[in-house]
Chain A
Amino acid sequence: MKALIAAAAVLFLAFAGASAGVVPGGTAAITVVLPYAAFLTLIAGIAWRVWWWAASPVPYRIPTTCGQQRSLPWIRTAPIDNPDTGVMAAIRVAIEALMFRSLLRNSRTHIAAGRLELSEARLLWLASLALHWSLLVILLRHLRFALQPTPFFVPPLDALDGFLRIGAPSLLITDVLVVAALIYLLGRRLVNPLLRYMSFFTDYFALLLLLGIALSGIAMRYVAPVNLVAVKEFALALTAFHPVVPAAPSALLLVHLLLVSTLAIYLPFSKLMHFGGVFLSPTRNLANNSRRVRHINPWNRPVPTHSYGEWEAANAEKLKLAGLPLDEADRGG
């Protein structure tokens, strides 16, 4: 049901984009006003969210240790999974961000006939990695449209992406990967009963929105090619802050732009901000050195305690009976 609502929302957006050309001012809204508004929201929204998290204190040093600590010099440690210094913790975070280290640990647990079995489960890791790296490459490839001259790394990236040389224009690997990964991630939410139980509108919406963006983009390349020169002129004008409303943009381009703008507006306020967790989680970005270096809690405050003096006074008779030493006796009291 939630998946259907999300699909309806994305389809509605796509339809709105496709039909924008027939509404007076519709093209201008989608090609000029919306991209600027979306970009602004994206930047301001991310800045605000990251600030909101980063501004909060970290009272305790609580890394999740996933390997041997550094204690005795002759014991081999796990310097990355159980970092002992800030530098090693930064490396741990980097591996998490670039390689999704923790997802790679994933396993599947089965229970059958009262037996528990653990098996490897790498597909989620693979799909996530494929999705995120493909999105990055696709984003970088798009710089060809937005920057003049084209950044030096874009042509080799394009070449690499299309090295299979299948068809013309040649098939880009990231296009295939991104769609495959999104379909897998959507499929598991629908098929796996545990995930279906705990999947929200936002989970489906984010995946379907990305799928819509990917498919509209791919269609512009392989199905109904758009005039790339015109698109580049339009995009360059946009990035140079001299926006020009394209004369007769393809409906696909409008759909693509509307969905991308929606994503940019939606992202800062949604679970798509999850990258914050990778960099800011105190369970990952802190060194496990809390016995070696004192960690300071900025709001540490006094709490009522039961002091030794109070305790001794309450237990004096029992202590004397048991022949245990008392401070009171030391003071001659």
Chain B
Amino acid sequence: MADRPVSDIELKAPKGDWRDAHVELRKGTFSNASLPKDLIALGLPNPRKWQPTDLDWQLPPDWKGILLRGMRERLAKYRSFRLFMDVCVRCGACADKCHFYLGSGDPKNMPFARAELIRSVYRRYFTLSGRLFRSLADARDLTEDVVKEWFYYFYQCTECRRCSVYCPFGIDTAEITIIVRELLSLIGVSTHWVTEPAANCYRVGNHLGIAPHAFKDALDFARDELRELTGLDIEIPISRKGAEILFVMPSADYFATPHYYTLLGYMMLFHEIGLDFTVSAYASEGGNFGLFHSNDLMKRLNAKIYEEAKRLGVRWILGGECGHMWRVLHQYMDTMNGPADFLEVPVSPLTGTRFANAASTKMVHICEFTADLLYHEKIKLDPSRNDEYVVTYHDSCNPSRAMGLLEEPRYVLKRACNHFHEMPAKTIREYTFCCGSGAGLGNDENMEMRLRGGFPRAQAVRHVREAHGVNLLACICAIDKATLPTLMDYWVPGVQVAGVHELLGNALVMKGAKERTTNLRGEPLAKETANA
């Protein structure tokens, strides 16, 4: 890959006929194929060694029948799918809302074009007009080229749902992408970056396949680090039965940076308020790459959380900072693996607040929990410890558009930091631009497409960097924390990425702690200046 793989971002008028399914699999714009070992571990069909650049994808002999039967089955199971295949009028309101279209200029990345890639096949095989009139009805035969085209473009969608905000019929491309990926997985077409973490999570407990003893080592390491930072012995209980609360976080929080500083932040907070909690070695992953593969796999991975909560005998569950994890927890978990009738309606032990919004799922978002603590003044913050940072906040797609968690993190941030500036209104909250690397696309081989997809988000950050000198992008998503630093280095150098609870940890005033000389990253705190 060249030093600047992407510098030619412009939107040109599309050429050719969209019905031509041939795609050029250009290096840097797609993900590698799944490895057989992971498909075998998960019991998924057609495990084999292959790559998307192969001429022959070694599809099963009856691949076409499998796909068409799969479509028929899903048309019967999902009103969303049935409806979204029919009701688009191609008004084009969604066209320039997709970060992948804006970054790549590829017209098939316009959401309504992306959906037509499967709608055209739906019309051909499932509607009378499509069967009768074919090209006049813009119906297309299902060919191997179409399969390759689906693979290319439905793995160029991060299921961020921005287009669905603008659609007058609420057509949600994420829903279509989920179903097409499900269909592709039936014939063994999926990506390594999705199925390997899923297989690891399934067998070992987390995406990287960190075994229980290594998991404990990572948390012990955090304990040591916290001792150095605060002078306090902050214990992180693992799989402790009878704890009040099970805390579930994305595994990146304990093995990746800058996520790790968020973990330190959570643990300082829990220690300070004396929370009776435990983490789990079995359910050591809140993230769920099943969402990026198929609804069944999502359900299989998610099942652990309730099973573990039941086994440990906790009262309720608290969840850390992670975007797609919260899509699963908020919109799917209770339906898929509930009812959680062995748990109690979450009540904050500090403030007595009853989280009625989680009365059935019994799972609360850490930002809801912390905002409630701050509102009731149960913790003290010294925001000047974050004075070196001029902060803006990136709404992660899933908590924004599949939940509506907008104010809670802002409430925490504005109390933990003195310098906070919002990005332009059409790029935040429900209009937020995706990092461009979600939904299992955040791998290195797909770097060019990630940089392109992240371009709109980076542009909004650049805007506040130029206007206010922003140097820190806060977020509440593990994929953001993993991929935004690359994106910032590329498009807006000088902007770091941090979790909301890292900034909270920086500012948190702890009883009995030694005076803080560094932030959680070990960088010396900014000297107080006259106008600070």
Residue ranges of A at the interface with B (Cβ–Cβ < 8 Å): 5, 49, 52-54, 56-62, 64-72, 74-78, 81-82, 96, 100, 102-103, 105-109, 111-112, 114-116, 118, 124, 128, 188, 192-195, 197-203, 269-271, 273-274, 276-278, 280-284, 288-297, 299-300, 303-308, 311-312, 314-315, 318-319, 321-325, 327
Residue ranges of B at the interface with A (Cβ–Cβ < 8 Å): 7, 9-11, 13-14, 18, 43, 75-80, 82-84, 86-93, 95-97, 102, 107, 110, 112-113, 116, 128-129, 136-138, 161, 164-172, 175, 202-205, 211-213, 215-217, 238-241, 281-282, 295-296, 299-300, 303-304, 307-308, 311, 329-332, 334-336, 338-339, 353, 355-361, 363, 365, 368, 371-372, 375, 400-408, 411, 424, 426-427, 429-431, 455-456, 459-460
CA distance A169 to B505 in the complex (A): 75
CA distance A280 to B375 in the complex (A): 39
CA distance A289 to B404 in the complex (A): 11
CA distance A327 to B239 in the complex (A): 10
Is B359's CB under 8 angstroms from A292's CB?
A: yes
Is A60's CB under 8 angstroms from B128's CB?
A: no
Q: Which of B161, B168, B336 contacts A96 (CB 8 A)?
A: B168
Contacts of B331 on A, CB cut-off 8 Å? 60-62, 290
Is A271's CB under 8 angstroms from B361's CB?
A: no
Is B76's CB under 8 angstroms from A303's CB?
A: no
Looking at chain B's contact residues, the main secondary structure is helix
Contacts of A303 on B, CB cut-off 8 Å? 296, 299-300, 303
Q: How far is the CB of B173 from chain A (nearest CB, A)?
A: 11
Contacts of B355 on A, CB cut-off 8 Å? 71
CA distance A255 to B78 in the complex (A): 42
Given contacts A283-B164, A305-B303, A72 and B353 within 8 Å (CB-CB): yes
Contacts of B408 on A, CB cut-off 8 Å? 71-72, 75
Is A308's CB under 8 angstroms from B308's CB?
A: yes
Q: Which of B161, B167, B363 contacts A102 (CB 8 A)?
A: B167
List 15 A–B pairs whose Cβ atoms lie within 8 Å, in order of A's numbering. Answer: A65-B400, A65-B403, A68-B407, A74-B375, A102-B93, A102-B165, A116-B102, A198-B113, A269-B129, A281-B170, A290-B331, A291-B358, A292-B361, A295-B334, A314-B203
- Kindly list the 10 A-B residue pairs having the minimum CB-CB distance in the complex, ordered from nearest: A277-B169, A69-B404, A277-B87, A281-B170, A193-B13, A322-B213, A65-B404, A284-B170, A283-B170, A291-B361
Which of B113, B330, B339: most chain A CB closer than 10 A?
Answer: B330
Which of B175, B331, B408, B424: most chain A CB closer than 10 A?
Answer: B331
Contacts of A68 on B, CB cut-off 8 Å? 404, 406-407
Q: Which of B7, B165, B300, B360 contacts A293 (CB 8 A)?
A: B360
Q: How far is the CB of A168 from chain B (nearest CB, A)?
A: 37
Q: Which of A66, A202, A300 contacts B165 (CB 8 A)?
A: A66
CA distance A184 to B530 in the complex (A): 59
Is A305's CB under 8 angstroms from B300's CB?
A: yes
Is B430's CB under 8 angstroms from A66's CB?
A: yes
CA distance A112 to B307 in the complex (A): 52
Given contacts A62-B175, A72-B353, A291 and B93 within 8 Å (CB-CB): no
CA distance A273 to B240 in the complex (A): 56
Q: Which of A52, A311, A322 contacts B82 (CB 8 A)?
A: A52
Is A291's CB under 8 angstroms from B18's CB?
A: no
Which of B91, B97, B110, B129: most chain A CB closer than 10 A?
Answer: B91
Closest B residue to A188 by beta carbon equals B92
Given contacts A52-B82, A311-B205, A64 and B172 within 8 Å (CB-CB): yes
Given contacts A68-B407, A278-B168, A306-B304, A58 and B212 within 8 Å (CB-CB): no
CA distance A86 to B404 in the complex (A): 17
Is B332's CB under 8 angstroms from A111's CB?
A: no
CA distance A280 to B170 in the complex (A): 9
CA distance A192 to B429 in the complex (A): 29
Given contacts A60-B332, A64-B165, A324 and B281 within 8 Å (CB-CB): yes
Q: A58-B80, A283-B171 are in contact. List 5 more A-B contacts (CB 8 A).
A: A56-B79, A128-B168, A200-B138, A283-B80, A289-B357
Given contacts A64-B172, A65-B402, A69-B357, A294 and B335 within 8 Å (CB-CB): yes
Q: How far is the CB of B73 from chain A (nearest CB, A)?
A: 10
Which of A62, A106, A295: most chain B CB closer than 10 A?
Answer: A62
Contacts of A197 on B, CB cut-off 8 Å? 13-14, 18, 107, 113
Q: How far is the CB of A223 from chain B (nearest CB, A)?
A: 31
Is B77's CB under 8 angstroms from A65's CB?
A: no
Closest B residue to A112 by beta carbon equals B10
Is A195's CB under 8 angstroms from B90's CB?
A: yes
CA distance A75 to B401 in the complex (A): 18
CA distance A201 to B20 in the complex (A): 17
Contacts of B217 on A, CB cut-off 8 Å? 322
Q: Which of B87, B205, B401 contacts A66 (CB 8 A)?
A: B401
Is A118's CB under 8 angstroms from B87's CB?
A: no
CA distance A67 to B84 in the complex (A): 23
Contacts of B76 on A, CB cut-off 8 Å? 56
CA distance A158 to B129 in the complex (A): 39
Contacts of A82 on B, CB cut-off 8 Å? 404
Q: How far is the CB of B88 from chain A (nearest CB, A)?
A: 7
CA distance A71 to B112 in the complex (A): 33
Closest A residue to B340 by beta carbon equals A294
Given contacts A109-B97, A291-B357, A304-B43, A274 and B88 within 8 Å (CB-CB): yes
Is B402's CB under 8 angstroms from A62's CB?
A: yes
CA distance A283 to B116 in the complex (A): 19
Is A64's CB under 8 angstroms from B164's CB?
A: yes
Q: How far is the CB of B277 from chain A (nearest CB, A)?
A: 15
Given contacts A59-B335, A271-B87, A294-B334, A5 and B212 within 8 Å (CB-CB): no
